[in-house]
């Protein structure tokens, strides 16, 4: 029973075991309406009040419950009987010179000084010494098995996705991923994309001559009413941390999207962009983890979690599309060199990747918190609005009053600061919030926050 003793057979942190037990109870329709108070829940589950608070906060973050002032917590997720009846199919097995900038706050950077060079170098030598002829022969079209096995374990542990290694395809970068899913889904498809959204995807789709429709974003994610009117064949979304707004699509909205995909017969491409970095609670489970009908193609990359220069991306195909890939496209060569794949497989298999992620979460959180704290104390703090914080490697900064977005960027550039304007990510220039820039903090050097904010005060402050 959901409110009975905690069954922590996986030896998880206690709050996570509580969260999972309550989440599963909500999904199964066993928990509804108003939840017990924190004290009552702690007594029933025989855990501390702070453990209940952490579990409730995670359920709230994912949209399973909502807090109502002076009333308590209420279940937001509605049990979908139709979804429960659907069984999971079994698998068949800009051109500026960056050197001109003192501070690069663009969204495409990572912390170069934090790359695990020593470990990567040691593993590279081991691969050269031990893998022998495998390194000079061609690799399987999907990528080497050991890497796909490690990715499958990672997706199960960190993203809640149950996947067989044979469903995983490894390739080089967004262009490879996009080209392959375009071919798999077939020509003359109508794509729905987020507006605003990741600029490269709509440029790639346009380059292939595909029809696109832009769907507006709401506070709870993609506008599903607008999406339904668009009648798409494919929907491309970033539900766990929308780029660039930072929106998290709650579970109720995710289930509604999956139900809509089943009813209108379209596929969903889930781009899990920078979902690894969440600074409050555990990562939001992937949309793919809720997919019981094989509608979701999951894509991700090691660009943000490790380094963009590695060019290692991967895609998880649902069973029917896997069959089509095996039948029609398995003759393609893998686009990632075997050497990098073997090194990455060992990096993950020996536990270095999970330790690196934990370390980088601490590094990025420190930068995130220090920068926000300094901005709140700045001379322009009264005109400042921050959104999209506490997850990912960027947030939105809006100033009221004096400057337009263009003026904010120009004045920051005069102080040696590189930023992206929010308008850059809108493929249709309408409904854009005024005077808003996207602040990427990943490349911000340690101890640089005071000088950076001082320069921003010169650029945007009033004296």
DSSP characters over 357-386: HHHHHHHHHHHHHHHHHHHHTSTTGGGEEE
pTM confidence score:
0.85
Do you know the residue count of the chain? 463
Alpha carbon of 80 to those of 53, 83, 209: distances in Å?
27, 5, 38
pLDDT, residue 434, reads: 93
What are the distances in angstroms from CA 384 to CA 83, 361, 379, 403, 437? Answer: 43, 26, 10, 12, 11
φ and ψ at residue 346, rounded to 5 degrees: -70, -40
Q: Are 419 and 105 in contact (CB under 8 A)?
A: yes
**Residue 82: per-residue pLDDT:** 43
In order of start, what are the domains of the chain with their CATH numbers? 14-79 (1.10.10.10), 99-108+355-460 (3.90.1150.10), 132-350 (3.40.640.10)
Structure tokens at 213: 């429709």
Question: What pLDDT score was predicted for residue 11?
Answer: 75
Tokens of 378: 């700045």
Over the chain (463 residues), the average pLDDT of each successive run of 10 is 75 85 83 89 89 89 86 76 45 47 84 88 95 87 97 94 97 91 92 92 88 92 95 96 90 95 97 82 85 96 89 96 96 94 97 94 93 95 92 92 92 94 85 93 91 95 63
Neighbours of 194 (CB within 10 A): 28
């Amino acid at each position: 029973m959901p409110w009975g003793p905690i069954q922590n057979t996986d030896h998880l942190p206690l709050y996570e075991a509580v969260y999972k037990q309550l989440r599963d109870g909500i999904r199964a329709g066993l928990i509804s309406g108003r939840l017990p108070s924190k004290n009552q829940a702690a007594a029933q589950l025989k855990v501390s009040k702070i453990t209940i608070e952490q579990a409730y906060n995670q359920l709230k973050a994912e949209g399973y419950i909502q807090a109502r002032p002076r009333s308590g917590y209420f279940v937001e997720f509605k049990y979908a009987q139709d979804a429960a009846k659907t069984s999971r199919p079994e698998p068949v097995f800009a051109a500026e010179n960056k050197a001109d900038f003192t501070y690069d706050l663009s969204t495409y950077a990572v912390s170069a000084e934090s790359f695990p060079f020593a470990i990567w170098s040691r593993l590279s030598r081991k691969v050269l010494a031990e893998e022998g002829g495998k390194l000079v022969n061609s690799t399987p079209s999907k990528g080497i098995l050991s890497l796909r096995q490690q990715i499958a374990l990672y997706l199960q542990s960190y993203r809640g996705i149950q996947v067989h290694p044979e469903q995983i395809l490894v390739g080089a970068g967004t262009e490879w991923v996009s080209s392959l899913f375009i071919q798999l889904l077939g020509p003359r498809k109508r794509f729905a994309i987020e507006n605003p959204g990741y600029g490269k995807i709509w440029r790639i789709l346009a380059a292939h001559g595909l029809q696109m429709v832009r769907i507006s974003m709401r506070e709870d994610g993609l506008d599903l009413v607008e999406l339904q009117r668009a009648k798409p064949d494919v929907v491309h979304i970033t539900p766990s941390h929308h780029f660039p707004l930072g929106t998290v699509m709650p579970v109720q909205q995710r289930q509604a999207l999956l139900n809509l995909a089943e009813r209108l017969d379209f596929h969903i491409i889930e781009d899990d962009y920078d979902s690894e970095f969440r600074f409050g609670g555990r990562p939001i489970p992937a949309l793919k983890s809720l997919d019981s009908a094989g509608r979701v193609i999951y894509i991700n990359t090691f660009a943000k979690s490790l380094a963009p220069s590695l060019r290692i991306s991967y895609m998880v195909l649902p069973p029917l599309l896997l069959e089509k890939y095996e039948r029609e496209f398995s003759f393609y060569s893998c686009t990632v060199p075997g050497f990098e794949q073997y090194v990455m497989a060992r990096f993950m298999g020996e536990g270095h990747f999970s330790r690196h992620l934990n370390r980088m979460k601490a590094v990025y959180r420190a930068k995130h918190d220090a920068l926000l704290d300094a901005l709140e104390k700045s001379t322009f703090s009264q005109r400042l609005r921050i959104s999209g914080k506490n997850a990912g490697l960027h947030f939105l900064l809006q100033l009221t009053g004096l400057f337009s977005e263009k003026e904010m960027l120009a004045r920051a550039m005069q102080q040696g600061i590189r930023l992206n304007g929010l308008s850059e990510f809108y493929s249709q220039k309408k409904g854009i919030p005024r005077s808003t820039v996207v602040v990427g903090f990943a490349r911000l050097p340690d101890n640089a926050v005071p000088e950076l904010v001082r320069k921003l005060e010169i650029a945007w402050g009033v004296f």
